[in-house]
Every structure is written in structure tokens, then in C-alpha cells.
Amino acid sequence: MNAKSGWGNTLSIAIMLVICFFIITDIVYNERIWEFSDFALRARLLSLGMMIVVFYAASYMYRRISRYFINKNKDTKKGNWKEYAFIFLINFPFINIIHLFSIKYITQMHFRPRESLMVNIVGALLLFLYYIIIRNRILSENFTEQNLQLEKIKVDQLETELKFLKSQYHPHFLFNALNTIYFQIDENNKDAKQSIELLSHLLRYQLYDIEQEVTMEQEINYLKSYIAFQQLRMSERLVLKVYFDPKLKEQKIHPLLFQPLIENAFKYVRGEYNIQLEMKLKENQIQFEIKNSISQSQNTGNKKEQGIGIENLKRRLDLLYPNKYNLEIKQTESIFVVKLAISID
């Protein structure tokens, strides 16, 4: 609630309370609120002005009191009996001082117990209601501010974690690539040049070409270059089958989600040395599947490293596509299969 509406509410409640006093006075003295002399009109205008000034002072006081008790009782949003008792204790003297001042110095009437009783009851209830309104307004402001801060912290944490997870791939990939080139330079300069060209293309995509999202055509071109680069370090016995759906063109996707799965397949392929990769579009879903043969003698250390890469990918998918992806991993004695389906808009 903004400052203008807060001051407007204060003015409205002040006028309401003064009108209640006028009605009570009229009932006690058997008068009518619309039938009074020039003196009575001036007196009531003075009472109204005084009440508005006092109410704005009360508004300032109530805000300080409510903030004190809210900060003191942070574990609960509800006020305790001490807080409300304190408000009632300060309300009654406050009401009677205003009432006596109005009777003696403004209206110049005599004090009547019945009138005072009615004024105290109505005034105390209205002022207590006004305090509750102010208290709830402050709670609402605090709640909104806390939500905004939590959302900002959450967004900052997600962005930081995404940057960290994505950055982990770059050094790992770079050192593997340089290691491949290192073993090729002395054997065949032509292959070394090809490796450097592919590496340059891959690094350019990772470091410069990617934004928040890329088209599937861009991502597939990158994956083709990555597969070609990985093939350079594989023996000729590798049997590789790759299929990319021609319908995958302009669809948007976050980059570098499939590359870790392809990297794992090339890194851990054993046995019959078979890798099968398929990526297709089915309705609004990108379906990716990769299989690589394995041997029964592969040690648990390789499986642990592979698990770290998969967990990293899962976390990125949770952040980028919450409830919009499905990742399945199956392993038998001779084959390792990964299926990833991502729903896109």
C-alpha cells in the first residue's frame, strides 16, 4: 500500500470518528447533526480539524508501536495480548483528553457521564480497528519486501549455479581436445590441421556464438563438428551411426545439453565399439537417444566419472526445463543407453 492511500485512510477514519462523536453528542443533548447554530458549526469544524491533526499524530505513533511489536515477535504474524492491551491503555486516555478538550474549550458544554461512556466505547473500538489496519498494512509491506528479496536471491543463485555448471565443461573439453591434438602433430600434419580447425569451430560456438538460447540447426551443426572431432582420436574399428531429424531447424533450445552425453559415449565406448545416435522431433518434443557398447571389464572409477557428468546435466535440466524433460539411463552388460526428451514451446 502506497503512502497516498495510507494518508487517505487516516483522513477517512478521522472524519468517521468525529462524525460518531457528533452523533453521540446529538443523541445525548437531543439535537440534530444538521440543525445547529453558527457557534456549533464553528465548534464542530474546529473539532474536526483537531481530530484530523491528532489522528495523523496517532498514525505516526501506531506505526512505530506496530513495527516494534512485529520486530519483537518475528516468529508469529499474530499480535499477543500485551500488544493489544497496550494499545487499549493508550487509547482511553487519548480519547478522554480529546473529548474533555472539545467539551470545555470548543463546544463549551458541560461534561455528561453517559456521553463520555458512549464516546469511550465507540472511540476505543474505532482506534483499535485503525491500529489493526496499520499493523496489517506494515505486515503486508514486510511480506512483499521479503518476497522480492527472496526472488532476487533465488534468481541470482540460479544464474550463478548455471554459469558454474556450464563453465565446468569448457576446461574439461579444452584439455581433452589439446591432448588429442598433441598425439597427432608428429604423426600427420594434415590431421593436426583438421583437428585445430574443428577445435576452433567448437570453441567459437562455446565462447562467442551461444546466447540464452540457440536454434536447433546451430546446435546440430555444433554436435556434428564435435562428433567429427571425437572421431579423430578413435580407431577405425568404431562403428558410428548418426541421424538428425531434418525437421529440427528453427526450434529454440538451451545449448550444450546433448554434448556431455555424446562425450560420455565416445569416452566409455568399449566392446564392439558401436555408437548409435538419433535425434528427432515428435510434436513439441525433442527426443535424443545415444547408445554405446561397453565391456564387462569396465571399472567403477569410469562409472563414477560418468555419474558426475550425468548429475551435472540433470541439475542444468532442472534449472532450465523444470518439469519439461525426461532423462532415462539404462545399462546392461554390453550396452549403455541414454534417452533425453525435452518439451519445447
CATH number of 168-343: 3.30.565.10
Bridge partners (DSSP) listed for residue 286: 281, 342
Residue boundaries of the structural domains of the chain: 3-162, 168-343
How far apart, in whole angstroms, are the C-alpha atoms of residue 329 and residue 5?
58
How far is the C-alpha of 181 from the C-alpha of 189, rounded, in Å? 10
Per-residue pLDDT tens listing for the chain (345 residues):
445 555 666 677 667 766 776 676 666 666 655 555 555 666 666 666 766 776 777 777 777 877 777 777 665 555 576 777 777 777 767 666 666 665 554 455 555 555 566 666 666 677 777 777 778 887 888 888 888 888 888 887 887 777 766 665 665 666 576 667 767 666 556 677 677 778 777 877 876 556 678 999 999 999 999 999 898 888 888 999 999 999 999 999 999 999 999 999 999 999 899 999 999 999 899 999 999 999 877 655 455 555 567 888 998 999 999 999 999 999 988 999 999 999 997
Say what the pLDDT of residue 215 is. Answer: 93
86: left (phi over 0), alpha (psi -120 to 50) or beta: alpha
CB neighbours of 83 closer than 8 A, spacing ≥ 6?
65, 69, 73
The pLDDT score that the predictor gives to residue 1 is 46
Minimal CA–CA distance to 80: which of 89, 69, 68, 71?
Answer: 69
Residue 68 sits at φ, ψ, to 5 deg, of: -60, -50
* Residue partners of 331: CB distance under 8 A and separation at least 6: 294, 337
Q: What share of the chain is helix, strand, coil (3-state, %, to 5)?
A: 65, 15, 20
Provide the strand spans (E) within the chain. Answer: 214-215, 239-244, 252-253, 274-282, 285-293, 325-331, 335-343
DSSP string, 282-295: ETTEEEEEEEEE--
Q: According to the model, what pLDDT value does residue 28 have?
A: 60
Do residues 247 and 281 make contact, with C-beta atoms less than 8 angstroms apart?
Answer: yes
Element (DSSP H or E) covering residue 271? none
